[in-house]
Structure 1
């Protein structure tokens, strides 16, 4: 009996989809905000992702993304130095932001909703990210835009809570491409 249970457990392990790693060269995570009404893009240069997904069985899928906050790049060193300070991302105290799925469900042809926990600056919120899915050259590609409110994560404290200069609405645009197996 014990051998049968062990064999079944090992069989299930080998049949389960493996976690695919990120193809960093083809992937991106960009935060788009508005400063005085003008869109501003900031790109996270370093992040990792692990994905296990079969479009025929989305409920069994899972994904996690970990972002290196200090890698945020607005295209100018003086701005980059500001964003890591305590008023903004506080990268010294909160070096990582994470998203971990809790459920994935279909939302139309090639479209899915990934529900999960988004943690930024030590604050965790439940979010639902609309995701489009396709396969390109044998790689899984996940793209979407996740709208958030920066003040819900204490991004922009003190004088920066004023949303007339930097808007509260932020769009996190992502393209996650898995490495070929």
Structure 2
């Protein structure tokens, strides 16, 4: 029984992290001159379960992004993520993470990210400030992104640490971080090809 609860807690925390991760990464998946390359882009989240790293991926999101590397200040990103649209290989786990104590997808079906400022750094680095909303909770975040060209493709990579409890992901007994850690590392690799 304890093992099953640990598994469920892990899956739910992962789902929460992935939703947040998708919010950050999808903001760079599209731009005015490119479309995302299916099968090449990935979004993942790493967290610790009983002090053991666990990683998983998130799939469905939509984005409206206008990104020009020559004019980052004029660029913008808006994103909508369906929080229940992830798959960890188990219908039971997927159902659990959509429940009230975790995403509460029936009441809060979407996570959103809206950029407020994009700044260029050195050597293809960018920082994207914006508002991230998950489960009705909105916070100010800054997303570090590394950009480069690969032939006709545009590639965006990055990682962002978040706290799942900041978004009320894991309520009640699941606030205990001794089983599923509060710290989550969001990783992304977005490839977009020109039309």
Please tell me the TM-score bracket, short chain as reference.
0.7 to 0.9
Instruction: Return the alpha-carbon distance in structure 2 between the equivalents of residues 77 and 126 of structure 1.
Output: 33
CA deviation after TM superposition for structure 1 residue 130, in Å: 0.5
Runs of 5+ in structure 1 lacking a partner? 1-16
Report how many residues are paired.
Answer: 165
Instruction: Indicate the residue corresponding to 2:104 in structure 1.
Output: 90
Q: 1:155 aligns with which of 136, 151, 169?
A: 169
Instruction: Return the alpha-carbon distance in structure 2 between the equivalents of residues 38 and 75 of structure 1.
Output: 19
Instruction: Indicate the residue corresponding to 1:145 in structure 2.
Output: 159
Instruction: Indicate the residue corresponding to 2:59 in structure 1.
Output: 45
Task: Report if aligned partners of 1:42, 1:75 keep a CA contact under 8 Å in 2.
Answer: no
Instruction: Indicate the residue corresponding to 2:11 in structure 1.
Output: none
Instruction: Indicate the residue corresponding to 1:102 in structure 2.
Output: 116
Q: Residue 155 of structure 1: SS of its match in structure 2?
A: coil
Larger Rg: 1
Runs of 5+ in structure 2 lacking a partner? 1-30
Instruction: Indicate the residue corresponding to 2:68 in structure 1.
Output: 54
Instruction: Return the alpha-carbon distance in structure 2 between the equivalents of residues 96 and 29 of structure 1.
Output: 17
CA deviation after TM superposition for structure 1 residue 179, in Å: 4.3
Question: What is the Cα-based RMSD across aligned positions, in Å?
Answer: 1.8
Task: Report if aligned partners of 1:121, 1:153 keep a CA contact under 8 Å in 2.
Answer: yes
Instruction: Indicate the residue corresponding to 2:182 in structure 1.
Output: 168
Question: Scaled by the length of structure 2, what TM-score is found?
Answer: 0.77
Question: Scaled by the length of structure 1, what TM-score is found?
Answer: 0.83
CA-to-partner distance for each residue in 1:30-51, whole Å, 9 max, x for gaps?
2222111112223212112232
